[in-house]
Amino acid sequence: MKGPGMFKSQQYRAKAAEYDELIKRSTDPDEVHGFQKLQHRFASLADNEQGLADEYDNAVCGFRRSRPCIPIRSRPGIPI
């Protein structure tokens, strides 16, 4: 994973990708099943986190209609 500025959804997707690689390398069916469950869990967390971030941006932008809105996640130097 990268530095602390990386979005949580990207961290979860990276973790899901790690489990995907473990699935490809494993030969034990029980181990594959466990890795698949973890891969799906992290992919779901990534989707949920992305949805929350999108909703937050929509709420902030909706509140500030009088000024142009730049989503929080696209502002440099602001960790989420």
Q: Given this model, what pLDDT does residue 69 score?
A: 59
Consecutive 10-residue averages of pLDDT for the chain (80 residues) = 60 96 97 98 93 77 60 54
pLDDT value at position 58? 72
Q: Has this prediction a pTM greater than 0.75? A: no
Domain boundary assignment for the chain: 8-72
Per-residue confidence (pLDDT) for residue 42, from 0 to 100: 96
Q: Output the DSSP codes for 24-59.
A: HH---HHHHHHHHHHHHHHHHHHHHHHHHHHHHHHH
Looking at residue 54, its pLDDT comes to 80
